[in-house]
Amino acid sequence: MTDKARLGESIPAFSLPATNDRTITDSDFSGHYTILYFYPKDNTPGCTTEGQDFSAAYAELKQLNAQVFGVSKDSIRKHENFKAKFDFPFDLISDPDETLCNIFDVIKLKKNYGREYMGIERSTFLISPEGKLIHEWRKVKVKEHVKEVMDTLKTLSE
């Protein structure tokens, strides 16, 4: 069983592939705030909008000493295409085995057109420069979400 991320505690160790031939590990989270947002699927309307919202806010997030990573179960190839298509300035982490999904407990029973299945519940996590989980948003609604994350970051850096 994977260790779980808990508020106020350090993120459990992990290592996963990401776009730009990167391997992202928990040690990549030290030294700046990290926004880790989990989304169901590349190239779907809500996920595209969420990515574009984080892109639009990216320069300001960087000024607040924050980095952004998107996470879904899609393959690196799909992630590279999604990132290129919408020119995301941040990397996307591929989690086909649900390693990070399980650490952050985002795999939930979902219902769509009467069908039930296990999938990623749209969620965002804020990790401190010391690598500790300091804020979480679950069951995220895309509209205004990036602004909420930004407002939280601003209050932390005051």
CATH code of the domain containing 97: 3.40.30.10
Could you tell me if residue 157 is inside a domain?
Answer: no
Could you tell me if residue 66 is inside a domain?
Answer: yes
118: DSSP letter: E
Which uninterrupted H or E stretch holds 17? Answer: strand 15-18
Could you tell me if residue 9 is inside a domain?
Answer: no
How far is 143 from 122, CA to CA, in rounded Å?
Answer: 12
Could you tell me if residue 3 is inside a domain?
Answer: no
pLDDT at res. 1: 43
pLDDT at res. 2: 54
Question: Residues 16, 18, 47, 133: which is the catalytic one?
Answer: 47
According to DSSP, the residues that pair with 99 across neighbouring strands are none
Instruction: Look up the pTM and report it.
Output: 0.94
Please, are residues 127 and 134 in contact by the beta-carbon 8 Å criterion? yes
SS3 88: coil
pLDDT in tens, the chain (158 residues): 458 989 999 999 999 999 999 999 999 999 999 999 999 999 999 999 999 999 999 999 999 999 999 999 999 999 999 999 999 999 999 999 999 999 999 999 888 888 898 899 999 999 999 999 999 999 999 999 999 999 999 998 77
Count up the domains in the chain and report the number: 1
47 labelled catalytic: yes
Could you tell me if residue 5 is inside a domain?
Answer: no
